[in-house]
């Protein structure tokens, strides 16, 4: 049974150290969350899986890590200064503010009043002062999407790698949006991370690439453990499209609070590269650019056939890391009633996402030989490079198992007196007990076969 309530997830995340409210000891800062000891591992594993699929496993994608602070002209020419807004209303009764398109029956969520102002556009971008002189104009934006850093570096990447169409640039990083009403835990926050690919193609081949990317991205989410029945591809209608898009398919996931967007895959055409390109008339582009504030670049690439400079079209799969973490947690969260009537909570995460791959538990913590042996087992597994191996000597094996079930550790290994050759059965010398998270079955494995046994099941 998957998690039915957000409360269960929020509580597990706090209790076990996945996710905490930001600035918690000062009452919290709305729309911010901090990833704890296990959360940072889970998040890093999800990002690594994305990077592997988008960059390492392909031969047509390069990586990038651009800065968060962004020149205002980048976001003016991209259209964000003028149009990156949500409709906001004020409640005249209690003075609270809401995102108009999220209110039910046009009623204030706080006091229930219907006496609301007309919706007006509210720009979601954060500004920050840059440099020691706080004069008008000395500000930069915190990027509202990672994409613009890719567009502004287009020429740098093409020139330094000699890429030709079709090819992509991938980036993972923070983005900031001053959401009017952050809500639903890490689903809608003001500071979040995106995993974005800008895949540049020849105009005319864009529709085909778009549908290929939708299929590839749906498959990737399934590979992270999300069930097909909880995923849906939604084709946006014309009036729902962002200012830069010709078409957009949202991948929706059945989150605890409802079926909502996990990733958007947009056909951004030549909008962005075109807008950032000097002498637009040369290319017949129509973006509204102030000639005094043009960029210095022609963001072009040779046309694959004519070799003439071409502003390519771009397909953009853009996924939220935090929404991804929430989705895999939702899917993995399982409550089981055991034969003896007790209940266990287990996170059935895909092994590659699990924050801890293996926990090594010495049966007794005050027996130096057992402790030493257990540490040697940990080091042996560490050497295989399969991720975090956790040595834990609380001495209570049963509690250890339950804790590791809750955080999704695929295997627990127990080192005991038999391992040392001090039990009744000498054939158990130099073997350990390996317990499987999902089946709870236990097998005895010789230490010299352990690394291969675990690797085979985790990688």
Site residues for ligand ATP per CB under 6 A: 177, 179, 188-189, 192, 194, 261-264, 318-320, 322-323
Tell me whether residue 87 or residue 395 sits nearer to ligand ATP (CB atom). 87
Comparing every residue's Cβ against ligand ATP, the nearest one is: 320
* Shortest Cβ 188–ligand ATP spacing (Å): 4
In the 3-class helix/strand/coil scheme, how is the chain assigned residue by residue? CCCCCHHHHHHHHHHHCCEEECCHHHCCCCCCEEECHHHHHHHHHHHHHHHHHHHHCCCCEEEECCCCEECHHHHHHCCHHHHCEEEEEEECCCCCEEEHHHCHHHCCCCCCCCCECCCEEEECCEEEECCCCCCCCCEEEECCCCHHHHHHCHHHHHHHHCCCCCEEEEEEEEEECCCCCCECCCCECCEEEEEEEEEEECCCCHHHHHHHHHHHHHHHHHHCCCCHHHEEEEECCHHHCCCCCCEEEEEEEEECCEEEEEEEEEEEECHHHHHCCCCHHHHCCCCCCCHHHCCCCCCCEECCCCCCEECCEEEEEEEEHHHHHHHHHHHHEEEEECCCCCEEEEECCCCCCCCCCEEEEECCCCCHHHHHHHHHHHHHHHCCCCCCEEECCCCCHHHHHHHHHHHCCCEEEEECCCCCCCCCCHHHCCEEEEEECCCCCEEEEEHHHHHHHHHHHHC
* Shortest Cβ 215–ligand ATP spacing (Å): 17
* Shortest Cβ 318–ligand ATP spacing (Å): 4
* Shortest Cβ 320–ligand ATP spacing (Å): 2
Tell me whether residue 317 or residue 362 sits nearer to ligand ATP (CB atom). 317
* Shortest Cβ 209–ligand ATP spacing (Å): 18
Tell me whether residue 198 or residue 263 sits nearer to ligand ATP (CB atom). 263
Tell me whether residue 262 or residue 381 sits nearer to ligand ATP (CB atom). 262
Tell me whether residue 22 or residue 395 sits nearer to ligand ATP (CB atom). 22
Tell me whether residue 116 or residue 189 sits nearer to ligand ATP (CB atom). 189
* Shortest Cβ 77–ligand ATP spacing (Å): 18
Tell me whether residue 77 or residue 188 sits nearer to ligand ATP (CB atom). 188
* Shortest Cβ 22–ligand ATP spacing (Å): 13
Tell me whether residue 33 or residue 411 sits nearer to ligand ATP (CB atom). 33
* Shortest Cβ 269–ligand ATP spacing (Å): 16
């Amino acid at each position: 049974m998957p998690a039915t309530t957000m409360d269960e997830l929020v509580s597990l995340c706090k209790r076990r150290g996945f996710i905490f409210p930001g600035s918690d000891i000062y009452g919290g800062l709305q729309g911010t969350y901090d990833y704890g000891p296990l959360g940072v591992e889970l998040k890093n594993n999800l990002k690594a899986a994305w990077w592997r699929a988008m960059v390492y496993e392909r031969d047509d994608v390069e990586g990038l890590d651009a800065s968060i602070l962004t020149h205002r002209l980048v976001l003016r020419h991209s259209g964000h200064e003028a149009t990156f807004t949500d409709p906001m209303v004020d409640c005249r009764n209690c003075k609270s503010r809401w995102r108009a398109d999220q209110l039910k029956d046009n009623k204030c969520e706080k006091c229930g009043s219907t006496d609301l102002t007309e919706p007006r556009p509210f720009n979601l971008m954060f500004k920050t002062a840059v440099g020691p002189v706080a004069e008008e104009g000395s500000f930069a934006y915190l990027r509202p999407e990672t994409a613009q850093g890719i567009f502004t570096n287009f020429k740098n990447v093409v020139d330094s790698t000699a890429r030709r169409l079709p090819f992509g640039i991938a980036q993972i990083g923070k983005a900031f949006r001053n959401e009017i009403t952050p809500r639903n835990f890490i689903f809608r926050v003001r500071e979040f991370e995106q995993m974005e690919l800008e895949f540049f193609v020849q105009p005319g081949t864009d529709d085909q690439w778009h549908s290929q990317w939708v299929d590839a991205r749906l498959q990737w989410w399934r590979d992270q453990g999300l069930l097909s029945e909880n995923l849906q591809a939604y084709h946006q209608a014309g009036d729902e499209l962002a200012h830069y898009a010709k078409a957009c398919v949202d991948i929706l996931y059945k989150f605890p609070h409802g079926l909502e967007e996990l990733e958007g895959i947009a056909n951004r055409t030549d909008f962005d590269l075109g807008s950032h390109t000097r002498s637009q008339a040369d290319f017949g582009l129509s973006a509204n650019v102030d000639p005094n504030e043009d960029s210095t670049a022609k963001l072009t690439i040779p046309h694959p056939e004519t070799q003439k400079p071409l502003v390519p079209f771009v397909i953009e799969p853009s996924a939220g890391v935090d929404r991804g973490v929430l989705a895999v947690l939702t899917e993995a969260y399982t409550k089981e009633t055991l034969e003896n009537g007790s209940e266990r909570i287990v996170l059935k995460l895909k092994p590659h996402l699990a924050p801890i791959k293996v926990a090594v538990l010495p049966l007794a913590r005050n027996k130096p030989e057992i402790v030493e042996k257990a540490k040697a087992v940990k080091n042996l597994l560490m050497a295989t490079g399969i991720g975090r191996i956790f040595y834990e000597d609380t001495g209570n094996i049963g509690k250890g198992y339950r804790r590791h079930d809750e955080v999704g550790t695929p295997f627990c290994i127990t080192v005991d007196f038999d391992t040392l050759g001090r039990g009744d059965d000498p054939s158990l010398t130099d073997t350990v007990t390996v317990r499987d998270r999902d089946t709870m079955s236990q097998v005895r494995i010789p230490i010299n076969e352990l690394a291969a046994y675990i690797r085979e099941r985790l990688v």
